[in-house]
Each structure stands twice: as C-alpha cells, then as structure tokens.
Amino acid sequence: MSYTLHRGDALTVLKTLPDESIHAVITDPPYNSGGRTSSDRTSRTARAKYVTTGSAHDLQNFPGENRDQRSYRSWLTALLTEAYRVAVEHSVAMVFSDWRQEPTTSDALQMAGWTWSGTIPWIKPASRPRKGGFKQSAEFITWGVKGGLDKTRNLYLPGHFTASQPRKDRVHITQKPVEIMRELVQICREDGTVLDPFTGSGSTGVAALREGRHFVGVELSSHYADIAERRLRAELTQDDFVLAGPEA
Amino acid sequence: MSYTLHRGDALTVLKTLPDESIHAVITDPPYNSGGRTSSDRTSRTARAKYVTTGSAHDLQNFPGENRDQRSYRSWLTALLTEAYRVAVEHSVAMVFSDWRQEPTTSDALQMAGWTWSGTIPWIKPASRPRKGGFKQSAEFITWGVKGGLDKTRNLYLPGHFTASQPRKDRVHITQKPVEIMRELVQICREDGTVLDPFTGSGSTGVAALREGRHFVGVELSSHYADIAERRLRAELTQDDFVLAGPEA
DNA sequence: TACTGGTATGAATCGGATA
DNA sequence: GTATCCGATTCATACCAGT
C-alpha cells in the first residue's frame, strides 16, 4: 500500500490530478453550518461554533468555515465535479454532512454528475441534549455513483453506523472513528485508490491503508497535514512490522 | 382522551379545521418516490450545463426528470401550510420521508412557514441487503417548529430511533411501530391534540391516546379509515378498562 | 477481571449584553 | 435595529482511577 499527501487547497490540487486515476472518494468537508444568522455561520471559527464552552482540550481550529449557503453549494459542486473527472466508472463518492447541509450536499453531488444512491445515518450516542425537543444525534453520509454500482462484487455493506466520536487520542475537533472509515473504504475496489480532498487528521487514509487500499489526500492546514503525515507513515511502518512479524 | 376521524382528502379536510386548534402534527405522507427508474437517472448527459450555471440554477427546475418531485413539493407545501394555520405557537410538525424525498420534505416544511429544526433517522435493522454497496436501512423524520420550542418543558427526547417495522398484526404496508410513535407524540403538550392528515391504519392516533393526548385524523381510503376507527375505539375502551380496573 | 463512582464533554442552542 | 460576542445550559456517554 502507499499514500500521497498533497498540501494545499482541495480544488486547486484536484485540478492537477489525472483523469480516471481514483476508485473512490470519501470525504468530510467543512460543513459551514451552525449559528443562527448568516454572519454567525460565516464569521465565527469552527472552534467557537462546535466546541462546548469551557472544554479543556486545545484542539486546533480548521479553515474553510466561512461560506454562506449559496457559495457552499457551488463550491462543493465544483469540487465534486473534479472528483468525478478523476474517478473511474463505477466509483463511489461518499460525503459527510450534518442535518442542515444534507439537502445541499445531495444537490451538489447530483449537479456534479454523480447518481445519488442513498443517505446513510451515522448515529452518535454521546450527543448533547436539547431541552423541550429532539436532540441532534446523527450525521449523514450522502453517497453516489459514477455510472452504476459494480454488481459483480460480492459485497454487502451496512445502511447505518453507530459509533461515538473518538475521545481518547483525539487530534481533530471533528475526527471520525477509524472503525467507521474502515467499513466505508470497502466500497473502493481492492488494491484501488481512495481520494480524500479534506484529509484533516487522516482517518480516511489510515482506514484505507489498513484495508489494503492506496490513498491520495489533500490538506490545507499545515498543522493537520503534519499530523496526517505522521499517522499515515506510522500505519505503513506498522503494516510492515506486522507482515514481517510473527511469520518471520 | 378523545379522537376525531375525518374521512376524505387531507387538504380539503384541513381547510375546514379552525385556526390554532392543534398542538402537534405527526404524519407519514405517501412518498411518491417511485417513478424515476434507474435508467432515467443514469442516462443523463447534461452535466456540463448544470455545472456551468452553478449555484444560480435551481436543481428542482431540471426539465422532466424531477416533475414528480416538483409536484410532490408543492402539494406537501400546501398541506403543511394549512397545518401551520391550524397549529398553535410552539407546535411541532414531524414528517416522515425516505432518503430520496428528505430534501424536498425539508423544502416544503420551510416554505410552509415552519422553522426546520432537525432530521431524525429511524433505523430499521431488518432491511434487505444490497449487493455491491450500502443497503438502505433508514427512514427520516423531518421536524420543524411554529415559532420556537417551548423551553419551559422539562422534556428531553432522543435524536434517533431503532425499531423494525411491525410484522405481526400488520394492517398497512408502511405501518409505523407504535413504540416509536409513543415517543414522538411526547412533543405534543400534555392534554393537547395531535393531528395526522394521513392516518392510514391509525398508529399515530393509538400512540397519542395511550400517551394522554387527543387525536384528530384524516383518511381518504374507507378501507383504512375503518381499520383506524376500530383500533382507536379499542384504545379508548382499553383505557377505560385500565382506569376502572385494579383500583376499582 | 468486573464493577463502581467521579469527571469531562458533545460538527449546539439560545437569551441577552455590548458595539 | 443589526451584527457580534459572552456565557449558561442540559443529559447520556466515555473514560479513568480505584476497589
């Protein structure tokens, strides 16, 4: 297995990638959600919007949380259009969103050419309560296909996930559980390449390598690119160690 | 507790109900999500056009392809507009949909004046696997408020539900588990009235009566109206029996 | 190892003060 | 009045330390 981590803006980097070089796109873009007014959403930092007041942890902010609804849609559409170009036929794209952005995400996915094929809930058991109503305990994974699914594969994947957000050894505010990502990357053909234009701390890449897929990532923040680089490198080393371990 | 079951078309009946006479709307409209065949969706070639117009283009206006969705949206909007009129301030509306109709449902809810406040997954564990991809194991409950939530209530409701569709004693194709409906009707204030414009076999009403709420239902099909009537009447009888039971 | 009790926090939300 | 900022809130869950 191998990985490539590009440092820079997702859309800019994607434009440089060759046609049909990728077999799955799995990513978690900045949601640009939260807040009551447009200015709340666009002027506040991710930390200010999403982290509980008084939290002791010191996780770094992440960039890209300053788009309003309209520009979010056209930006995500442009990104998914490039992703469509670099993907081979039968590739699947999976995009995380929250309840507020799910309709926009499915719009963008379809406008970019993907055939929208479903929306998968990720249930987070440890979520905040809401007085007087229903709490918000799910995120959503909107997925689509370039062309149609490869029906010849003997593959049956779940329709929902239940897992808590990592708390131990957490390095990113919105880090995804590797156990979920390991199931998602199964949608990529074996020995294929998974693309994640918003690598963050690199959980998608870690899962891809563990499941025997190659990985191409893009990350703008050098802070998080450094972290992802470390985690990905450790994955390869560990893999080598395991392979050369007991048997050797 | 009491119930009223109207026989007739939902929109027609709703127009006859008085202003501000209802405290919650909980319903499962016919989705109409069939119609678009797989080949319809995959034969699109106009991708470039959609993308270059970007965010200025309304996805819903794609000619032909979305005609079903467009009429579903305007029909549901009209219905939810009437529901808004008959609801008191702080009322909550909850509308079931599948993944395909969820964006349209949130559009309609907001167009009718409700403040969209969340989307709740209902996980159905016993759903059919799908070869080559992720199965479809969730429905969605889109909910909104007239004005804002009543924050004075000491009420904390879940953000997702897990339950299989009823198998035994099932009388309707899309019948909902009463255990889920009993949690949903909690959002109605005690002694308030729950409205379900698409009563079907009456599970919403059964749950409302069991939880001490009044119920107003509408059902077009006389077959299902008969079934609902029977179930609702049985509920009241049973209630009386319980009340007059051991203590008496 | 299994259980118990203490503590921190969640891709939030909202009212109200301040600029 | 509008935009922005500040901080209180609320419970289930995860984690840790100790028995």
CB-based burial of residue A107 (10 Å sphere; 0-12 exposed, 13-18 middle, 19+ buried)? buried
- Find out whether B177 and B201 touch, Cβ atoms under 8 Å: no
Query: Would the pLDDT of A131 be above 90?
Result: yes
Distance A178 CA to D13 C1' (A): 19
**Assigned token pair, B219:** 């059902």
- Beta-ladder partners of B92: B24, B145
What secondary structure does DSSP assign to chain A, as a single string? --EEEEES-HHHHHHHSPTT-EEEEEE-------SSSHHHHHHS-HHHHHSPTT----PPP-S-----HHHHHHHHHHHHHHHHHHEEEEEEEEEEE-TTTHHHHHHHHHHTT-EEEEEEEEE-SS----TTEE---EEEEEEEESSS--TTS--EE-S-EE-PPP-TT--STTPPPHHHHHHHGGGSPTT-EEEESS-TT-HHHHHHHHTT-EEEEEES-HHHHHHHHHHHHHHHHHHHHHHHSTT-
Residues with CB under 7 A from strand D: A 37, 39-40, 43-44, 52-54, 125-126, 128-129, 131, 164, 166-168; B 154, 156
Q: With a cut of 50, say whether residue A4 has pLDDT above it.
A: yes
* Confidence bin at A241 (pLDDT 50/70/90): low
With beta carbons under 8 A apart, name residues in chain A contacting B44: 113
**Residues in A touching B121 (Cβ below 8 Å):** 121, 123, 138, 160
pLDDT digits 0-9 by tens, B117-169: 999 999 999 999 999 999 999 999 999 999 999 999 999 999 999 999 888 88
Cβ distance of B106 and A103 shorter than 8 Å:
yes
Residue B136 has a pLDDT of 96
pLDDT at A164 over 80: yes
CA distance A247 to chain B (A): 34
SS3 A115: strand
The closest CB to that of B121, out of A149, A150, A160, belongs to A160
Predicted confidence (pLDDT) at residue B242 exceeds the cutoff of 80: no
Among candidates B42, B54, B150 on the partner chain, residue whose Cβ is nearest the Cβ of A147: B42
Mean pLDDT of the residues in chain B = 86
The pLDDT assigned to B47 comes to 42
Mean pLDDT of A185-203: 98
A206/A239 Cα distance (integer angstroms):
11
Q: Any idea which residue has 């808590």 for tokens?
A: A164
DSSP state of B163: -
Q: How many CB pairs under 8 A join A and B?
A: 147
The answer to whether A61 and A225 are in contact (CB under 8 A) is no
User: Given pLDDT bands bounded at 50, 70 and 90, which one contains residue B32?
Assistant: low
The amino acid at B62: F
Question: What is the identity of the amino acid at B159?
Answer: G
Give the mean pLDDT of A6-34: 97
CA-based nearest distance B241→chain A, Å: 32
Whole-angstrom Cα distance, residue A92 to residue A85?
A: 12
In the predicted model, what is the mean pLDDT of chain A?
94
Predicted pLDDT of residue B61: 40
B175: DSSP letter: P
Nucleotides of D under 7 A from a protein CB: 3-5, 7-16
Nearest CA in chain B to A84: B47
Residue A237: which pLDDT band, with cuts at 50, 70 and 90?
confident
CA A88 to C1' C11 (Å) is 31
Model confidence pLDDT, tens digit, residues B195-236: 999 999 999 999 999 999 999 999 999 999 999 999 999 999
Q: What is the pLDDT of residues A132-156, one digit of tens each?
A: 999 999 999 999 999 999 999 999 9
Query: What is the tens place of the pLDDT at every residue in A37-94?
Result: 888 899 999 999 999 988 989 899 999 999 999 999 999 999 999 999 999 999 999 9
Residue A38: predicted pLDDT: 87
In chain A, which residues have their Cβ closer than 8 Å to the Cβ of B153? 131-132
State what percent of residues in chain A have pLDDT above 70: 96
Nearest CB partner across the interface for B118, out of A92, A99, A111: A99
Residues of chain B in contact with residue A118, where contact means CB-CB under 8 angstroms, are 99, 133-134, 136
Q: Is the pLDDT of residue A242 over 90?
A: no
Contact A78, A11 (CB under 8 A): yes
- Strand C: residues with CB below 7 A: A 28-31, 33-34, 36, 46, 49-57, 65, 96, 98, 124, 126-130, 136, 139, 165, 167, 173-174; B 117-118, 148-149, 151
- Report the distance from CA of residue B148 to the C1' of nucleotide C5 in Å, as an integer: 38
The one-letter code for the residue type at A215 is F
User: Which chain A residues touch B137 with a CB distance below 8 Å?
Assistant: 158-160
**Distance (Å, rounded) from C-alpha A114 to C-alpha A107?**
10
pLDDT at position B33, please? 62
Q: What pLDDT score was predicted for residue A158? A: 98
Could you tell me the pTM of the whole model? 0.92
Nearest CA in chain B to A119: B99
Which pLDDT score is estimated for B65? 53
Q: How far B99 CA sits from the closest chain A CA (Å)?
A: 6
Q: Which top CATH class is A3-235?
A: alpha beta
Contact predicate B121/A118, CB 8 Å: no
Separation CA B110–CA B105 (nearest Å): 9
Q: How far apart are CA B235 and CA B246, in angstroms?
A: 18
Predicted confidence band at B41 (pLDDT cuts at 50, 70, 90)? very low
Domain positions in chain B are 3-235
Task: Say how far apart CA B88 and CA B108 lie, in whole Å.
Answer: 19
What pLDDT is recorded for position A37?
A: 87
Q: Straight-line distance from CA A127 to C1' C3, in Å?
A: 25
Residue B199 DSSP label: -
What would the DSSP string read from start to end of B90-142? EEEEEEEE-TTTHHHHHHHHHHTT-EEEEEEEEE-SS----BTEE---EEEEE
**pLDDT score of A54:** 85
